[in-house]
Structure 1
């Protein structure tokens, strides 16, 4: 297990070096070409904290899995509504989706996340995952 821990630390250090958040220096910031035009804001790089890189990576992976789970669930409901599935297939599909939801909740708990934490804000596009309505 020590070898795995060493490998994780090495990856975390490499990610930290590669993605350290640093403001661009004056030579990197483009100047305004026209009179009165606003100069561009400084560029930034990603800040990867070695202590949270595993949790952040799991959050990204779990977000993608949750998106796929919700899409599969919608497709399953559509197939049930159209009568494409036998009663046994509906039962198996429902059980599988419930188990997948439980596993997602379990994995989120293992990394100190909730299913709500997986919903990314996409700015003007809204949220990645549909919000539960009260």
Structure 2
């Protein structure tokens, strides 16, 4: 049996840009992606705290501090909005013992404030 678990979470990222006429995606600071165990083109969910919208897209590596809504996603948020970025993984019961969730907390300037790894002891 597979269980869907939270793989990565970036808490309180601040949208720094919008690019409507782009192929689509979320451009995200490369260092933040690495610390959150996220890969380029990986699917993520975005939860916008300012307007309540939730949507799925994929990641592209960006420059320091960048959090840019691209393509249709640019219509789902504004510069300055606070968002949560998450990815999920389907994990077998055997894999759960060694599975870690990466939690990355950001400052107002999209700098890493804290990183936490959570184990799953079911």
TM-score bin (small chain): under 0.3
Given the two structures, how large is their TM-score scaled by the length of structure 2? 0.21
Greater Rg by CA: 1
Q: Which has the higher contact order (CA 8 A, sep 6+)?
A: 2
Which structure: greater strand fraction? 2
